[in-house]
Structure 1
Amino acid sequence: MEFTSAEGEQKYAALVRAADRAVIGLDFDGTLSPIVDDPTRAHIHPDAPEVLVDLAQVVAAVAVVTGRPARQALDLGGLEEVGNAIGEAGKELYLFGQYGNERWSSTRRRIVSPRPPHGLATFLRDLPRALRRADAADAWVEDKGLAHAVHTRRLPDPEGAFERLLPVLRDLAARNGLVLEPGRNVIEVRAPGMDKGKAVDTLAAEVGAGGFLFAGDDLGDLEAFDAVTALGKDGMPTLLVCSASDEVSALVDRADVVVHGPEGVLGLLRRLTADARAADARSR
């Protein structure tokens, strides 16, 4: 765990003092689960359920905000069981899937999801030709229901294929009224109007947050970082955490704290839990 500045340490201390009113927002891939070649096998870190349940007892709410479909995140993370345990502590676990287009919580227990976006069918019709144009015909296309993700990780030159595909898919998405979200060797195309920043704003308003921590690892988390930064400018204690890796460090320059992967994220959450309990004991 490394603070990026003295201000980062001060922001952490302020969040500890406000822990009982704080929301903890967490990305899934690269933050709670390791990045793997097959996204369908990206199970949550084995220590994460215990850490999240313990954390929930000292904060206002815990939320997972991910680009994955909600059902997939629930299964890979064992989050329904985690939600049960958090509920027993009188708190709530929230899940925002597909960048906030899908919602689930440990009290409602039902995934709320809109219809697939207009333009997606046409995009899919033209996608094979676009992949051939970028010399990436063998890229794996993941159907997320409300979006499609094109993965280059399995190709011989993942980074080169990603760079070739990015402008081609951006143009194809724009022609169909869709937005493009780049990530670690993956390009996702989905409907406009929702992103992780809006999910942060929704959470903060619904919970009545008096503090907000967000931990992420990639470009898809930038909107969440922007939203948390705006909350901080309004006087709320906030903390931005980058789960960095040797592969990607897109958020390092924006973060207050840099940790290494899911192990580092969980270490930070353990420390926050312990420090919040200690602060509460001292105030009694």
Structure 2
Amino acid sequence: MTVSTPTTEDGRTGLHRIRTEPGRALLAFDFDGTLAPIVADPRDSRAHPGAVAALSALAVHVGRIAVVTGRPAGVAVEYGGLDAVPGLVVLGQYGRERWEDGRLTVPPAPAGVAEVRDALPGMLQDLGAPEGTWVEDKDHAIAVHTRRAADPEAALDLLRAPLADLAERAGLAVEPGRMVIELRPHGMDKGAALTALVGEVGAASVLYAGDDLGDLPAFAAVEELRATGIEGTKVCSGSTEVAELAERADLVVDGPDGLVDFLVELAGALDA
């Protein structure tokens, strides 16, 4: 069965290793924009209708399937129906949380998050944040969304510097995304989470698929792992909003629809 072909030699090598030695492969995915379409309100996000079936079909062949997301791990499992995927690991909050076999492990939230939580309402009011700006409290991180504002880009520009200042005072890092700015603890990123999981499962190859700026560290991790002999393929769930990821990808697919098609193709090839 034909599988979509990466445009880079490294990407093709990585995918070939996955196909020829699937039992030692780790396949990891972002959630929003990758396994789930982007929606105006993240609370309405749900997995693509074909995502769970495609992941389940792959799970019987590959060493491990993982989801690495900025969302709380339990929320991603609930919104995605991911508990139906055999052997799945979900690393939430950029790797701070872990869900596996129905068990959720969550460390204490950093103090700086509480400081931001208390300061944000007054700050947004003082700035005159436009209608449609809203705050998502992730317990271990705070995200400010502007997608529902009349001019999302202008709203994001208004908030960018003040949020960076607030993050610095609270000892947090700033993570930009698609019409969102997230304030979260330092040391939380998808690259570190992915690298640790590769080592844990003893993977010989890794595929990572994402759609946003927060996925760049995971792409960088794949590139670094290649230098250690672990083959890797970077897949971008393409969008018109974020070009940086597509430029680094070995394969670009057409959003969650295209990613699910690719996963179905890959599962079919492994079945064969």
* TM-score, with structure 1 as normaliser: 0.89
Deviation at 1:105, TM superposition (A): 0.8
Against the structure 1 CA distance between its residues 214 and 60, is the aligned structure 2 distance closer, same or farther, given a 3 Å change threshold?
same
The CA deviation string for residues 149-192 of structure 1, in whole angstroms up to 9 with x for no partner, is: 10001111101111221221111101110111111101111111
For 2:92, the equivalent position in structure 1 comes to 97
1:121 matches 2:114 = yes
CA distance in 1, matches of 2:234, 2:127: 36
Partner residue of 2:213 out of 184, 202, 219:
219
User: Does the 8 Å CA contact 1:2/1:258 hold for their aligned counterparts?
Assistant: no
Partner Cα distance (1:201, 1:148) in 2: 25
1:2 Cα offset (Å): 6.3
8 A contact 2:116–2:142 mirrored in 1 = no
1:32-43 equivalence runs, <5 A? 32-43=35-46
Distance in 2 separating the partners of 1:263 and 1:164: 33
Residues paired across the two proteins, number: 268
Distance 2:34 2:140 in 1: 23
RMSD: 1.6
The equivalent position to 1:230 in structure 2, one of 224, 231, 242, is 224
Give the structure 2 partner of residue 281 of structure 1: none
SS in structure 2 of the partner of residue 104 of structure 1? strand
Equivalent residues of 1:66, 1:98 under 8 A apart: yes
1:203 equivalent in structure 2: 197
Distance in 2, Cα, partners of 1:125 & 1:74: 28
Structure 1 distance, partners of 2:6, 2:244, is 16
Question: Which deviates further from its counterpart, 55-64 or 156-165?
Answer: 156-165
* 1:48 pairs with one of 33, 51, 74: 51
Name the residue aligned to 1:149: 143
Matches within 5 A, 1:56-67: 56-67=59-70
* Counterpart AA for 2:98: R
Query: What do residues 104-159 of structure 1 show as CA deviations (whole Å, max 9, x unaligned)?
Result: 112xx211111111122222232234324544254110111111110001111101
Separation in 2, partners of 1:144, 1:8: 34
Q: Secondary structure at the match of 1:240?
A: strand
Percent pairwise identity: 48
Alpha-carbon distance, 1:7 to partner:
4.5
Partner in structure 2 of residue 171 of structure 1? 165
User: How many Å separate the matches in 2 of 1:7 and 1:100?
Assistant: 26
Deviations 1:51-92 (A, max 9, x none): 11100111100001111111211111111233xxx1xxxxx2
